[in-house]
Amino acid sequence: MKNPVGFIPVHGNYRELLSYRKAEIVFDLTYRFCERFLKRGDRTIDQMQQAARSGKQNIIEGSQASGTSKEMEIKLTNVARASLAELLADYEDFLRVRGGKRWEKDSKEALFVRRFALQDGMTYDRYRGFVETRPAEIVANIAICLLHQTNFLLDRQIRALERDFLKEGGLRERMTQARVRTRQQSG
């Protein structure tokens, strides 16, 4: 969005980002998954919860930093993506080492989760009944589906940020343009 008065664009609207809303669901799901299915004292609990938190929090931080640093926004969005890739591997490892079956991409279960996730107003509460009543294998697969969706959105977001930077530049370029306009109007 353009800011007609100054050179710092409107920023910090992370709650409007679908990637953030999905990452928040992934965080809530992961927190409950760890409580239900991992043994107290297992280091994996901290690793998974921190990866989920990092995914969500770095989207927030990148969105907030975007007004003055497109570079920082891109970096932090990529950190979010990397954290969620780490979390995805944790869920895949959980299934593999316990002999759980991972759903095929186009299985009826995965397609159900993908369709379910497309509904408007998605929050963790919409998933609660599935996540808090199903066995570990199913919940891990739901998380994997959601992580793939979130990572897809973050990949698209990073590409869009790159295009926007190439088209519009960064803070220094906006500052120079604003200064030139101010001089031309005064002078």
CATH of the domain at 38: 1.20.1440.60
Q: What is the pTM of this model?
A: 0.85
86 lies in a domain? yes
What residues make up the domain containing 64?
Answer: 14-177
Give the other-Cβ count within 10 Å of 161's Cβ.
Answer: 19
105 lies in a domain? yes
Q: Which two tokens stand for residue 52?
A: 């989920």
186 lies in a domain? no
Total domains, the chain:
1
3 lies in a domain? no
Q: What is the pLDDT along the chain (187 residues), one digit of tens a residue?
A: 444 456 556 666 899 999 999 999 999 999 999 999 999 999 999 999 999 999 999 999 999 988 778 889 999 999 999 999 999 999 999 999 999 999 999 999 999 999 888 877 789 999 999 999 999 999 999 999 999 999 999 999 999 999 988 887 666 676 666 667 777 888 6
42 lies in a domain? yes
Considering only CA atoms, which of 102, 89, 97 is closest in space to residue 138? 102
Residue 26: predicted pLDDT: 98
Q: What is the DSSP string of 24-91?
A: HHHHHHHHHHHHHHS-TT-HHHHHHHHHHHHHHHHHHHHHHHTTT-HHHHHHHHHHHHHHHHHHHHHH
Residue 176: predicted pLDDT: 66
48 lies in a domain? yes
Residue 2: predicted pLDDT: 46
Q: Which amino acid is at 2?
A: K
184 lies in a domain? no
164 lies in a domain? yes
